[in-house]
Amino acid sequence: MNSPLVYIIILNYRNYTDTIECVHSVEAVKYSN
């Protein structure tokens, strides 16, 4: 069975450190898509 496709949208304003932390967290997720 195929897993549903997941999109990740990151909204952030003037806080690049939170953006970097969020991107690293998303990269660590184990999801086949």
Q: How many structural domains comprise the chain?
A: 1
Per-residue pLDDT tens digits for 1-33: 677 888 889 998 899 999 999 999 989 988 776
Torsion (CA) 7, 11, 12, 18 in degrees, nearest 10? -30
Q: Report the pLDDT value the prediction gives residue 33, as an integer from 0 to 100.
A: 63
Per-residue exposure over 8-29, b if at least 16 CB sit within 10 Å of its own CB, e if not: eeeeeeeeeeeeeeeeeeeeee
* Range(s) of the domain holding residue 28: 1-33
Q: Dmax over Cα atoms in the chain, in whole Å?
A: 41
3-state SS, residue 26? helix
Q: With 0.75 as the threshold, say if the pTM is over it.
A: no
